[in-house]
Structure 1
């Protein structure tokens, strides 16, 4: 996508905050005009997931109904492009659409964080994520939501209408994975809105040290997978990508989501 297309689209207003990049101990960080880290990349391993919450956002890969899942991915919020880069590289069966509200971000992510060029599998749309979902007639197997402004606010992505719209746009056996900010005052209310939109079929992992808490919704058929199967899938994913989700499975078990050794959503 050329700069004229990015900055001349006129569909969204460019946010006023600055976009800053810092680097320390071999890790490059993205900031939106503050010390808050909005994304990170280890320079020597640009396609690895450096931040723990981005790793936990890949938990749905262990819950996949088949090897070809997810064929259609919608990512709301680009940031440094960490999750998008990972899926583009390691899930060749996936077609990925990214909706990013800040028209400056794709160029920044490409310049500083190795975001790949758009191709037949990667589409970048400049626009409001909530509006995009509300107006879309497409179905998605996996919807990833990670959109915050420079004040750590999710705005329209943290409403009951948005969560209901996401559910309406899911394909059969599709699911939504959201990054919540566990330290915000409205965290419990945010989680409750997601649970209500999905009739209680969702789980919220305990907050990470970074303050993020990942929420994953169930499917129309529900989710029941034994820990042995999940650990075997995690070992396979690790061998293929180096991503280690075994600690996340331990966190799920410790949080009480696996009674009798079975994960139920």
Structure 2
């Protein structure tokens, strides 16, 4: 599978397209490790939900699986800002990997970072590894997620999550089947799922949690967001505000 790849640049930002105007990824050329698109920032909101320091003294997340490479935004961010994490990217299209290497500063493969060419769903089913953070952002040129938008896939991901594992999925909120997609995640995670309010782009990021319960007060979420902004430049304070305004924090607490 090799979609037609187009690269465009405007106002210091380089964009990836799959043969259409629809943006598949972006990188600000002078800030390659920042997350340019709002939904990619939201996909890292799992960092608000789990403590960066685990009870055993290790850091969270230690193992990150990224399904769908795009312009390598998530891969660059995690590789640069979470040095404790080992990262595996699964991408079905060789041309996307080639474009990420040539135009989007894809990290060099080594013991800590690797790219697997193939289907993300098949990879999850066939590789008996556990992951702390699974980021699912796979679409074709027609904005379809295919097998990545099925309940068996989400169940398979849940089975591969660690005791503090979290899955984040990018959903195209303007698609007709968006609510059905969200319900599949909710069922697969036995209601331990939450959709963050839609970004300006129309993307909605949904999270599913496994293992230890998550219970975060709005004050804790804001404090963690301030810490992340200071450490990485990632600003999730607007995300917390939108969650609160949307009524997703009953009693001022996020529970999953």
TM-score bucket (shorter structure): over 0.9
Aligned-residue offset at 1:72:
0.5
Aligned-residue offset at 1:126:
0.1
Size of the aligned set, in residue pairs, is: 251
How many angstroms apart in 2 are the aligned matches of 1:221 and 1:237?
22
Match of 1:61 among 29, 42, 47: 47
Other structure's SS at 1:84 match: helix
* 8 Å contact kept, 1:76–1:100: yes
How many angstroms apart in 2 are the aligned matches of 1:200 and 1:160?
13
Aligned-residue offset at 1:220:
2.3
TM-score, normalization: structure 1?
0.93
Counterpart position of 1:100: 91
Match of 2:70 among 76, 79, 83: 79
Which ranges of structure 2 fall in alignment gaps of 5 or more residues? 54-58
* 8 Å contact kept, 1:69–1:141: yes
Match of 1:252 among 234, 238, 243: 243
Other structure's SS at 1:236 match: helix
Moved more, 230-239 or 28-37: 230-239
* 8 Å contact kept, 2:20–2:141: yes
Counterpart position of 1:11: none
* 8 Å contact kept, 1:65–1:173: no
- Equivalences for residues 131-142 of structure 1 within 5 A: 131-142=122-133
1:199 pairs with 2:201: no
Other structure's SS at 1:161 match: helix
CA distances 1:91-120 after superposition (whole Å, capped 9, x unpaired): 011000000000122221121111111122
* 8 Å contact kept, 1:257–1:264: no
* 8 Å contact kept, 1:177–1:216: yes
Match of 1:228 among 219, 244, 256: 219
Aligned-residue offset at 1:264:
1.1
How many angstroms apart in 2 are the aligned matches of 1:180 and 1:247?
19
CA distances 1:29-61 after superposition (whole Å, capped 9, x unpaired): 000000000000111111100000000001001
RMSD: 0.9
Which ranges of structure 1 fall in alignment gaps of 5 or more residues? 1-13
TM-score, normalization: structure 2?
0.96
Aligned-residue offset at 1:66:
4.2
Counterpart position of 1:9: none
* 8 Å contact kept, 1:180–1:215: yes
1:52 pairs with 2:38: yes
Match of 2:16 among 10, 30, 39: 30
CA distances 1:128-180 after superposition (whole Å, capped 9, x unpaired): 00111111111011110000000000000001110110011111110100000
1:163 pairs with 2:154: yes
Match of 1:262 among 242, 250, 253: 253
Counterpart position of 2:56: none
How many angstroms apart in 1 are the aligned matches of 2:195 and 2:106?
29
